[in-house]
Structure 1
Amino acid sequence: MFHSLPDEYVRAQIAAGALVLFGVLRVIGAAVAVQRGWRISIVTRSFIGAAVVFCVPELVGLFGSFPVSHQALVVLEGKAAGCALALFCAPIVSHRLGYE
């Protein structure tokens, strides 16, 4: 018998993982940028690009095959939500820590 997790659980777990991944990396990136004298706007743009690259496999799966497209859509929604939230909140945390 096959049991699968509900879409909400999968979406929430993927979003939490992307939030932690990109949130922590963005704060570390801001700290490194301050130490090396890089512009914060370059760091922000590079993390936006990394978030898009992070979501590309699900976009390919979404448009590539029909039976897997529902699962790819759920994972894509989770990744996109987690990345968007992380890239919104991480600059606030970086600013509070004095890196921006």
Structure 2
Amino acid sequence: MWQVLPDEYVRAQLAVGALVALGVARVVAAGIGAQRGWRIAAVTRWFIGAAVVFCLPQIIEVIFLGNSHTAFVELQGKIIGCAVALFCAPIVSHRLGYE
């Protein structure tokens, strides 16, 4: 018999996954950027683009298959995780001295 996970679990897993993936990558990029003289605004713009690309498969599925409940739940989780990562990663980078 096929069992389905509740929507809250799927959202939480994808939110944490996006938070860890983008948050850690953003802090590492800020560290590398500080060593190489990159502008932090450029790093932030690159990671906003990365968040859009990360969510793009679900965005396309929700737009073109408007009846896809699973894609909408996955998109919600990814957007929440990306938003928290893009908010918190600069704070962590600043505390580490990269910004």
Query: What range is the shorter-chain TM-score in?
Result: over 0.9
Q: Match for residue 85 of structure 1?
A: 84
Q: Match for residue 70 of structure 1?
A: 69
Q: Secondary structure of the residue that 2:2 maps to in structure 1? A: coil
Q: Secondary structure of the residue that 1:5 maps to in structure 2? A: coil
Q: Match for residue 46 of structure 2?
A: 46
The CA deviation at 1:66 is 4.4
Distance, in Å, in 2 between the alignment partners of 1:2 and 1:28 is 40
Aligned residues: 99
Q: Secondary structure of the residue that 2:53 maps to in structure 1? A: helix
RMSD of aligned alpha carbons: 0.9
Q: Secondary structure of the residue that 1:4 maps to in structure 2? A: coil
Distance, in Å, in 1 between the alignment partners of 2:54 and 2:12 is 17
Identity of aligned residues (%): 65
Letter of the structure 2 residue corresponding to residue 12 of structure 1: A
Stretches of structure 2 that go unaligned for 5 or more consecutive residues are: none
Distance, in Å, in 2 between the alignment partners of 1:74 and 1:30 is 31
Distance, in Å, in 1 between the alignment partners of 2:60 and 2:74 is 12
Q: Please, what TM-score do these two structures have when normalized by structure 2? A: 0.96
Q: Please, what TM-score do these two structures have when normalized by structure 1? A: 0.96
CA deviation profile, 1:22-50 (whole Å, cap 9, x unmatched) = 00000000001000001000000000011
Distance, in Å, in 2 between the alignment partners of 1:22 and 1:66 is 27
CA deviation profile, 1:74-97 (whole Å, cap 9, x unmatched) = 000000000000000000000000
Stretches of structure 1 that go unaligned for 5 or more consecutive residues are: none
Is 1:37 the counterpart of 2:45 in the alignment?
Answer: no
Distance, in Å, in 2 between the alignment partners of 1:65 and 1:33 is 39
